[in-house]
Structure 1
Amino acid sequence: MKYSKYLILSDYDGTLSREGLILPEREKEAINEFVSQGGTFAVATGRGFREIGGVFEDTPINAPSILWNGALVMDIKNKKLIKSYPLEGDVKGMLRDIEESFPDTIIQVQCMSEDFTVYFGDCEDELREGLKQFSDIGVNAEDHFIDFFKTLTNKLVTLEEINEPIYKFLIVGGIDRMKELKEYLLEKYDSLGYLIVSSAPFNVEVNSLQASKGQAGDFLKKEYFKDREYTVIALGDGENDIDALKRADYSFAANNASNEIKAAADYVLKENLGVIRQVLNFIDSSLR
């Protein structure tokens, strides 16, 4: 079959979809065609299994998914955990530091049992303003804000109530404050084994240094699928995609990506065309 040598690793938000937890029909159709012709498809996202599983319920993902920026590698169809990289060290101390130094933020931690919001500062207006950028790429900013805000207020707990490993944590707030926060964390914690990135201007995400989409993609190619010889094609639009874009055999940046992301990729996807369809056209015209 014509796509049997190819493994596609695609980012979700801003790349495959700009409609929240709705996968556009044209992407579903192209993924179905790719897989039916022998291709192997996996999603590589900052989201977790509780969110992303439902999105691809009727779409044939036939490789383990890369979740929480690479902190988990999981077969989401069968809910089987394959690889995991929890945060180590004094994670709660780091979170308390952020709460004290940046009180105008919201902090959410990702655990296997649930996503918990452990600090809820006053940044609602700034966050709403930051999300307005999405109105320029086809997403209603207010609807996006309401949906996003619901996820942040769903499980409010104290840090002391969490007694399980934390795999990733997310800090959101005003765009200018996120720039300050990221600089602060990079200066203070970057050398302690943490990967500190942003997937959008209004957030900062913290993972284990071992957890990145690129490293997880390498695990799939070199270990999980070690008996197959794949050409890996990666797609993304954010800073948390750069590692995967650089490690792939071929890489595509979304049209809405920043210049930094586009520079990390081999090609830039066109606007208003299905992204997976463009990749299939590339394979058909350039790689076969």
Structure 2
Amino acid sequence: MDLSGIKMVVSDMDGTLLNSNHEVSQRFLKQFQRLKAKGIRFVAASGRQYHSMADKLAPIKDDIIFISENGALVKERDDELSVIPINEDLTDELLRTVDHIEGAHAMLCGKYKSFFDGNSMQFLEQLKEYYASFEIVDDFNTVNDEIVKIAVYHPTSAEHHIYPAMKPFENRVKVKVSGKNWVDLNHVNAHKGNALQKVMEIYGVDGSELLVFGDYNNDLEMLGLADYSFAMANAHPDVKKVANFETKSNDDFGVESILEKI
């Protein structure tokens, strides 16, 4: 495999760049400096909020591009490259539907702050891992922020309990199973593939110069843009079908082992 022409590396975070303890390895941070010296740009792409991503990648946050909230917010340093919110009326309709799903809990995600209601307090410690900036509210109707994503949590299986109820909205909303416990609802045009396409256009990168890593269904569109697309060994079966290559798991330095070949 010849990776000498790579100009941009893109990685999902949870289940991909982060290990099972939600940590970035020192091995990656050292590799990043080598990539930077070669003029290769790095893009972190996640369903996480921007502040959570920036906290995880604090040592390099000023040198990379962030695709956050599944592509609803794209940011480089202080510049917002793209913002795609959800229509307010549609947000209300989606929340009403979630209310009827047994065991489901919705969170509203603004560009830089997320909002939880009292029903999510029992999961607060777990939510803090993904949402570094949040506010607890009594009523979602009091939230005035521009909403870019609705994250819906289920304690056992989002794919089995949440996705079937939200599937009828797929002609109006991007519905993505983003992890074992999560379904994410975004504007129909807000996904990692669309966001990455914009970044590629800004920096003049094509698919033959792009290296992408992912593990779950919210990574499918961006994987489809790259000639060098890698599914993690721990990836969802759908991801392994789409990716052109496979690497080791996130706990076995799957991303790092490929970056060493550049």
Q: TM-score, normalised by structure 1?
A: 0.79
2:140: which partner in 1? 159
Q: 1:25-104 residue pairs with structure 2 within 5 A?
A: 25-59=26-60, 62-75=63-76, 78-88=77-87, 89-99=89-99, 101-104=100-103
For residue 118 of structure 1, report the CA deviation from its aligned partner.
3.5
- 1:136 aligned residue: none
Output the CA distance in 1 between the equivalents of 2:129 and 2:34.
Answer: 35
Query: Structure 1: 5+ residue runs without aligned partners?
Result: 128-144, 284-288
**Partners of 2:35 and 2:247 in 1: CA distance:** 18
Residue pairs, 1:256-271, within 5 angstroms: 256-271=234-249
Runs of 4+ in 1 over 4 A off after TM superposition: 2-5, 149-154
Gapped regions of structure 2 (runs ≥ 5): none
Q: Secondary structure at the match of 1:247?
A: coil
Residue 240 in structure 1 maps to residue 239 in structure 2 = no
State the match for 1:191 in structure 2: 171
Provide the rounded CA distance (Å) in 1 between the counterparts of 2:44 and 2:109. Answer: 18
**Matched residue SS, 2:221:** helix
> Residue 38 of structure 1 aligns to which amino acid in structure 2?
G
Distance 1:252 1:282 in 2: 14
User: After alignment, is 89-98 or 166-175 more displaced?
Assistant: 89-98
Tell me how large the CA RMSD over aligned residues is: 2.7
Shift of 1:69: 0.5
Give the Å deviation of 1:255.
Answer: 1.2
Q: Structure 1 274/221 Cα, relative in aligned 2: closer, same or farther at 3 Å?
A: same
Residue 251 (str. 1) matches residue 229 (str. 2):
yes
CA pair 204-31 structure 1, distance change in 2 beyond 3 A: same
* Contact preservation (8 Å) 1:3, 1:39: no
- Residue in structure 1 matched with residue 163 of structure 2 by the alignment: 182
Please state how far the C-alpha of 1:95 moved relative to its aligned partner.
Answer: 0.5
Greater shift in the superposed pair: 255-264 or 146-155: 146-155
Deviation at 1:104, TM superposition (A): 2.1
Shift of 1:175: 2.8
Tell me if the contact between 2:101 and 2:165 (Cα under 8 Å) persists in the aligned partners: no
Paired with 1:177 and 1:274, the residues of 2 have a C-alpha distance of 27
Local SS of the residue matching 1:102: coil
How has the CA–CA distance of structure 1 residues 150 and 59 changed in structure 2, closer, same or farther, with 3 Å as cutoff?
Answer: closer
1:164-200 CA distance string (max 9 Å, x none): 221011111133465232111112x1122x1001111
Q: Which has more strand, going by share of residues?
A: 2
The count of residues paired between Structure 1 and Structure 2 equals 255
